Structure 1
């Protein structure tokens, strides 16, 4: 016995492919509107039955019907609804539906909503799909649009996510660019200025991960010039300490600085992983015994 979703989808398919009759323009518009509503109803019925793939397929069909009548706002909403159903079991289809949504939003000048959908793609790829490189691209795309729309806080949130992913992927210059950009933006507001020391710390660690001590020290100097208060923070002192230990090939000293910092300020997994990468780059001094 077919489900209600199956029955409604069959009706929608029949309506969508039916003849338009003599009054072509008016009847074709009405035909696609009816098919659109039937596909939406079928999608909702499938959702009630936890048939998420089928629901997503029907919402995408509804979007196609809306596009035939040049109803781009409706189509964008239908593709977005489809993505929510697909996300349950088919993240790659959810991403494809969101990409269609983004395209339509941009055509309509709805850039903030397009940025929101880029951010959703990033989260799906990061959490559901395990595609970190794709998530990095999506966070950057969202951040760029937010920035163009003067949504600075939203842009910075995306750039921070992008920076951490870039560093995880070993793309340190890319990570540094984002961390430094967020730090520069944060300096201008009393509400965000407190977080600057964290952004500088992460950027400095990424510099050190490249193995270029000279550039790392130059970067720290630049940070203290941009924000003189940074020089007195534990983050700056820690950064200077591990840089000097790295430069001296002092693995034990490096570890001691890390342990001392962690004792008062618990290191998260991202920092711990990056510090282990940096430590592996330290040239061990040959034993004298």
Structure 2
């Protein structure tokens, strides 16, 4: 029979302590504090052994002991430690642990940290589980909390990522609303004003992906009134050219304009994808006309 690992021995000691009856001279909160310490030690040993599922489970049991001994800060930290262990291959468990962390943080009014953890959940949904809808919801929730904490730049980054995801999900009106929200927040600062044309470009592309050239043109006019330099930018000129090409059903002009724009500005994956959708819509419409 193989010898028990240090982690396993500590875990058994922790279980024994947590399940023991409190003696005459010790309170149950002392019992759970001590059990929590043992679970934490066991978790750290499991990490050394690279057993991350077991480490996460031990931290989760530590967190439950911290809750029973009314140690709210320590409970929040233990759940977060559990999440970090679970992130090594157990995304669903990581999300559950992070949600528990957030519950503690929001109760304590620590919304900045809650937003950080919510953003982590968004990243797990996006990168590990490929659930764009859930990722979008988490990023928007995080963004709202960042605004509450006056962290406008961090909120903008969350809302911009959420807008990109709305567009990937073909939820174009929601995407446009988020891009405009980020642009409006960025207009007021000299440091962020330069990025506004990028958000407006994306918003217009969303309108065109819906086949709504009227909204695209109306929005171009609106954006130019908010920033008078916008109409002379390469972004605004590009939107004008492709909007006219779409209205004329001129796929050749559209393709040429996209090629030329890419030579100067380099299209990222998001723009390439949405422009492909717009072109496909134009070609489908052409078939319909014929």
Distance 1:6 1:189, change over 3 A: same
Pair 1:267-2:267 in alignment = yes
1:245-286 Cα shifts (integer Å, max 9, x gaps):
111111111101100100111001110000001111112278
| TM-score normalised according to structure 2 size | 0.96
What RMSD, in angstroms, separates the aligned Cα atoms of the two structures?
1.3
Pair 1:99-2:75 in alignment = no
Q: Counterpart of 1:69?
A: 69
Structure 2 distance, partners of 1:87, 1:120, is 10
Q: CA deviation at 1:143?
A: 0.4
Structure 1 distance, partners of 2:289, 2:69, is 77
Distance 1:287 1:36, change over 3 A: closer
Distance 1:172 1:15, change over 3 A: same
Pair 1:56-2:71 in alignment = no
Pair 1:18-2:12 in alignment = no
Q: Could you tell me which runs of 5 or more consecutive residues in structure 2 were left unpaired when the two chains were aligned.
A: none
Q: Counterpart of 2:286?
A: 284
1:59-90 Cα shifts (integer Å, max 9, x gaps):
01000000001111100000001101000010
**1:249 and 1:285 in contact (8 A); partners too:** no
SS at match of 1:211: coil
Q: Counterpart of 1:47?
A: 47
Structure 2 distance, partners of 1:115, 1:34, is 31
Q: How do residues 151-230 of structure 1 correspond to structure 2 at under 5 angstroms?
A: 151-230=151-230
Distance 1:223 1:70, change over 3 A: same
Q: CA deviation at 1:244?
A: 0.9
SS at match of 1:112: helix
Distance 1:238 1:34, change over 3 A: same
Q: Could you tell me which runs of 5 or more consecutive residues in structure 1 were left unpaired when the two chains were aligned.
A: none
1:25-70 Cα shifts (integer Å, max 9, x gaps):
x421111011000000000000000000000000010000000011
Pair 1:85-2:102 in alignment = no
Q: Counterpart of 1:233?
A: 233
SS at match of 1:74: helix
Pair 1:30-2:25 in alignment = no
Distance 1:3 1:229, change over 3 A: same
**1:102 and 1:117 in contact (8 A); partners too:** yes
